[in-house]
Chains A and B, each alone.
Chain A
Amino acid sequence: MRRGSHYVAEAGLELLSSSDPPAFASQSGWFTDLIRTIRDPEKPNTLEELEVVSESCVEVQEINEEEYLVIIRFTPTVPHCSLATLIGLCLRVKLQRCLPFKHKLEIYISEGTHSTEEDINKQINDKERVAAAMENPNLREIVEQCVLEPD
Chain B
Amino acid sequence: MKDSLVLLGRVPAHPDSRCWFLAWNPAGTLLASCGGDRRIRIWGTEGDSWICKSVLSEGHQRTVRKVAWSPCGNYLASASFDATTCIWKKNQDDFECVTTLEGHENEVKSVAWAPSGNLLATCSRDKSVWVWEVDEEDEYECVSVLNSHTQDVKHVVWHPSQELLASASYDDTVKLYREEEDDWVCCATLEGHESTVWSLAFDPSGQRLASCSDDRTVRIWRQYLPGNEQGEVHYLSCRGGMQRLLTQWKCICTLSGFHSRTIYDIACLTGALATACGDDAIRVFQEDPNSDPQQPTFSLTAHLHQAHSQDVNCVAWNPKEPGLLASCSDDGEVAFWKYQRPEGL
Residues in B with CB closer than 8 Å to A80 are: none
Given A104-B261, A135-B62, A128-B109 contact (CB < 8 Å): yes
Q: CA–CA, A3 to B309, complex, Å? A: 12
Residues in B with CB closer than 8 Å to A63 are: 279
Partner of A2, one of B125, B154, B309: B309
**Residues A135 and B278 in contact, CB atoms below 8 Å apart:** no
**Residues A104 and B125 in contact, CB atoms below 8 Å apart:** no
**Sample (22) of A-B pairs whose CB atoms are under 8 Å apart:** A2-B309, A2-B310, A2-B331, A3-B16, A63-B279, A104-B261, A104-B278, A122-B170, A126-B196, A127-B311, A128-B65, A128-B109, A128-B154, A131-B18, A131-B63, A132-B62, A132-B63, A132-B81, A132-B106, A132-B107, A132-B125, A135-B62
Residues in A with CB closer than 8 Å to B279 are: 63, 104
Residues in B with CB closer than 8 Å to A132 are: 62-63, 81, 106-107, 125
Given A102-B309, A135-B62, A126-B170 contact (CB < 8 Å): yes
Q: Is the interface of B mostly helix, strand, loop or mixed?
A: loop
Interface of A toward B, CB cutoff 8 Å: 1-3, 63, 102, 104, 122, 126-129, 131-132, 135
Other A-B contacts than A128-B109, A132-B125, 17 sampled, CB-CB below 8 A, are A1-B16, A2-B310, A2-B331, A3-B16, A63-B279, A104-B261, A104-B278, A104-B279, A122-B170, A122-B196, A127-B330, A128-B154, A129-B125, A131-B18, A131-B81, A132-B81, A135-B81
Q: Mark B259-282, 1 if CB is under 8 A from A, else 0.
A: 001000000000000000011000
Q: Mark B314-345, 1 if CB is under 8 A from A, else 0.
A: 00000000000000001100000000000000
The 4 nearest A-B residue pairs measured at CB: A135-B62, A132-B81, A132-B107, A135-B81
Q: CA–CA, A63 to B63, complex, Å? A: 30
Residues in A with CB closer than 8 Å to B196 are: 122, 126
Question: With an 8 A cutoff between CB atoms, is B152 at the interface?
Answer: yes
Q: CA–CA, A102 to B306, complex, Å? A: 12
Q: CA–CA, A102 to B330, complex, Å? A: 13
**Residues B63 and A135 in contact, CB atoms below 8 Å apart:** yes
Q: CA–CA, A2 to B308, complex, Å? A: 12
Distance from A142 Cβ to chain B, minimum over Cβ atoms (Å) = 18
Residues in A with CB closer than 8 Å to B152 are: 129
Q: CA–CA, A129 to B151, complex, Å? A: 12
Residues in A with CB closer than 8 Å to B65 are: 128
Residues in A with CB closer than 8 Å to B106 are: 132
Distance from A139 Cβ to chain B, minimum over Cβ atoms (Å) = 13
Distance from A25 Cβ to chain B, minimum over Cβ atoms (Å) = 18
Q: CA–CA, A63 to B196, complex, Å? A: 23
Q: CA–CA, A3 to B81, complex, Å? A: 21
Question: With an 8 A cutoff between CB atoms, is B59 at the interface?
Answer: no
**Residue on A with the closest CB to B305?**
A64
Q: CA–CA, A3 to B106, complex, Å? A: 27
Q: CA–CA, A131 to B63, complex, Å? A: 9
Residues in A with CB closer than 8 Å to B331 are: 2
Residues in A with CB closer than 8 Å to B36 are: 131
Q: CA–CA, A2 to B152, complex, Å? A: 30
Q: CA–CA, A123 to B241, complex, Å? A: 42
Residues in B with CB closer than 8 Å to A2 are: 309-310, 331
Distance from A123 Cβ to chain B, minimum over Cβ atoms (Å) = 9
**Residue on A with the closest CB to B214?**
A126
Distance from B261 Cβ to chain A, minimum over Cβ atoms (Å) = 7
Distance from B56 Cβ to chain A, minimum over Cβ atoms (Å) = 19
Q: CA–CA, A20 to B344, complex, Å? A: 43
Residues in A with CB closer than 8 Å to B330 are: 127
Q: CA–CA, A39 to B331, complex, Å? A: 29
Residues in B with CB closer than 8 Å to A128 are: 65, 109, 154
**Residue on A with the closest CB to B36?**
A131
**Residue on B with the closest CB to A4?**
B310
Distance from A64 Cβ to chain B, minimum over Cβ atoms (Å) = 8
Distance from A116 Cβ to chain B, minimum over Cβ atoms (Å) = 14
